[in-house]
């Protein structure tokens, strides 16, 4: 008898029947879990389950150009701008990567073939105090203080970048109007 | 009737213009012509105003090259950086001229020193000017002339100046407050490091002038102005 039972249990027919039953049950369960149709009647109620994942988002705004004007021949040139960083991350943290438009994303401005290097600092407050030197095309350390409630920071900037061109570089440069584009990419902190 | 005017010909087809108009039609036709003229004048004025408005709008638009990021998994903002570096120059290595007391030598006084002229200009196709003036304590000294003076004696000693655009003497005579043009040979290092001095300033006083004044200390300031040409 046990041999017959074993044959029955392990027969291909029963195997495929088991597979069919299990699949049907799983599909039905999944279907019932996601949505439900209503009954035919004076009212009918159906439901749909919704799932939405919101990624960690950031926004950098209130950017402004840096126009140093004409160099007088004395001292470093320094300019800074307050900006707004928003994130939906509850930690209010982010990282920033700056790139210049020089070779290998170097921080340089140019006039024809002449290049003039500059340095870039970032601060996670709207001031230059204790700001951090950025390396071109390298992700910064984690910054904080991002606004988590307003894309535009409610009009109150919460970060700052500073651009400095030192006197030695300026005096070593040929006359001309030097221009360049400095790009900041803000991303949620890892 | 003014049917032959060019304006009318433009407004109506020749066929209409050439047609004979009945007395009843004439006032209507004239009214149409007048209205066409007015309409044309109004349109001309409107177009002029439109051009002016567009021009003013274009001029008033701020040049905003900086860009904000949009919200996303990363956000990118850009800023344009501009700096204008003009031709710059610097004179350094200036020294006081303090010759030993004059003892009546026939050669008068002849003093010079080498100094440094820096510029960020490229050597090719560029040059600089040198302009010199002097001041001295005695107000009665001759104007527009290089001089030192003694306020007590109320006397002055005129001197001449030479500028050389390389080290060592042998330069050109400088006229008071007149640019000496076409000077070259500067260093691109602000302190002439590695290049050494590249100019020379020479002051000379003749025996005649030195013997023409009373004994005493004669002082003054010679100001040298370098400027890109």
Pick the residue of B70, B84, B85, B86 with the most A CBs within 10 A to test the interface with A by mutation: B85
Interchain contact, A65 vs B85, CB within 8 Å: no
Helices (H), chain B: 6-11, 14-18, 25-60, 207-211
The closest CB to that of B70, out of A59, A70, A183, belongs to A59
pLDDT value of residue B8: 47
As a whole number of angstroms, the distance between CA A139 and CA A135 comes to: 8
pLDDT value of residue B64: 55
Residues of A in contact with B87 (CB under 8 A): 175
pLDDT value of residue A22: 85
Contacts made by residues B38-44, CB under 8 angstroms, sequence distance 24+: B40/B7
Interchain contact, B120 vs A62, CB within 8 Å: no
Contacts of A79 (CB under 8 A, 6+ apart): A66, A68, A162, A163
Interchain contact, B72 vs A58, CB within 8 Å: yes
Q: Which two tokens stand for residue B7?
A: 């304006």
Contacts of B179 (CB under 8 A, 6+ apart): B129, B130, B131, B227
Interchain contact, A182 vs B121, CB within 8 Å: no
pLDDT band at B79 (very low <50, low <70, confident <90, very high): very high
pLDDT value of residue A1: 65
Q: What mean pLDDT comes out for the span A98-113?
A: 96
Interchain contact, B73 vs A69, CB within 8 Å: no
Interchain contact, A178 vs B83, CB within 8 Å: yes
DSSP string for A13-37? HHHHHHHHHHHHHHHHHHHHHHEEP
Q: Tell me what ipTM this predicted complex has.
A: 0.77
| Burial of residue A119, with CB atoms counted within 10 A of its CB: 0-12 exposed, 13-18 middle, 19 or more buried | middle
CB of B73 within 8 A of CB of A57? yes
CB of B90 within 8 A of CB of B193? no
Helices (H), chain A: 2-9, 12-34, 167-171
The closest CB to that of B66, out of A64, A165, A174, belongs to A64
pLDDT digits (tens, 9 = 90+) for B139-160: 887 889 999 999 999 999 999 9
Nearest to B178 by CA among B127, B227, B117: B227
Interchain contact, A60 vs B68, CB within 8 Å: yes
Helix (H) or strand (E) holding A69: strand A66-70
Does the pLDDT at position A2 exceed 80?
A: no
The closest CB to that of A171, out of B69, B81, B88, belongs to B88
CA nearest A183 in B: which residue? B78
Does the pLDDT at position A56 exceed 50?
A: yes
pLDDT digits (tens, 9 = 90+) for B15-57: 455 456 777 777 888 888 888 888 778 788 778 888 877 777 6
Dihedral sign computed on CA atoms, order B33, B39, B43, B46: positive
Does the pLDDT at position B76 exceed 50?
A: yes
Q: What mean pLDDT comes out for the span A112-130?
A: 96
Percentage of residues in chain A having pLDDT higher than 90: 72
Q: What mean pLDDT comes out for the span A137-149?
A: 97
Q: What mean pLDDT comes out for the span B202-212?
A: 96
How far are the Cα atoms of A111, A127, B73, B203, B217 from residue A94, in angstroms, in the given order? 34, 17, 11, 66, 72
Q: How many other β-carbons are positioned within 10 Å of the β-carbon of residue B89? A: 20
């Amino acid at each position: 008898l046990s041999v017959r039972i074993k044959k029955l249990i392990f027969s291909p027919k029963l195997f495929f029947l088991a597979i069919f039953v299990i699949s049907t049950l799983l599909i039905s369960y999944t279907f019932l879990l996601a949505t439900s149709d209503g009954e035919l009647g004076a009212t009918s109620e159906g439901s749909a389950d919704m799932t939405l994942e919101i990624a960690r988002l950031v926004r950098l705004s209130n950017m402004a150009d840096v126009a140093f004007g004409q160099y007088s021949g004395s001292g470093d040139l320094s300019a800074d701008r307050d900006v707004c960083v928003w994130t939906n991350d509850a930690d209010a943290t982010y990282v920033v990567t700056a790139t210049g438009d020089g070779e290998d994303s170097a921080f340089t401005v140019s006039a024809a073939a002449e290049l003039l290097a500059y340095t870039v600092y970032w601060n996670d407050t709207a001031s230059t105090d204790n700001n951090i030197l950025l390396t071109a095309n390298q992700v910064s350390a984690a910054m904080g203080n991002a606004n988590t409630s307003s894309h535009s920071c409610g009009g109150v900037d919460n970060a700052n970048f500073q651009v400095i061109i030192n006197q030695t570089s300026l005096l070593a440069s040929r006359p001309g109007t030097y221009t360049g584009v400095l790009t900041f990419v803000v991303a949620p902190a890892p | 009737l003014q049917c032959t005017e060019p304006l009318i010909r433009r407004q109506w087809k020749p066929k209409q213009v050439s047609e004979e108009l009945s007395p009843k039609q004439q006032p209507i036709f004239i009214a149409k012509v007048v209205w066409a003229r007015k309409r044309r004048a109004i349109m001309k004025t409107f177009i002029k105003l439109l051009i002016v408005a567009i021009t003013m709008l274009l001029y008033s638009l701020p040049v905003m090259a900086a860009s904000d990021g949009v919200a996303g998994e990363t956000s990118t903002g850009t800023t344009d950086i501009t700096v204008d570096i003009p031709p710059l120059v610097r004179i350094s290595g200036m020294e006081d001229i303090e010759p030993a007391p004059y003892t009546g030598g026939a050669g008068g006084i002849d003093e010079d020193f080498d100094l440094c002229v820096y510029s960020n200009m490229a050597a090719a196709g560029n040059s600089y000017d040198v302009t010199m003036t002097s001041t001295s304590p005695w107000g009665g000294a001759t104007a527009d002339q290089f001089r030192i003076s003694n306020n007590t004696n109320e006397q002055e000693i005129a001197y001449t100046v030479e500028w050389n655009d390389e080290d060592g003497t042998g330069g050109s005579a400088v006229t008071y407050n007149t640019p000496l043009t076409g000077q070259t040979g500067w260093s691109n290092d602000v302190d002439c490091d590695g290049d050494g001095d590249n100019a020379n300033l020479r002051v000379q006083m003749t025996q005649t002038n030195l013997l023409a004044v009373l004994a005493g200390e004669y002082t003054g300031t010679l100001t040298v102005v370098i400027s890109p040409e």
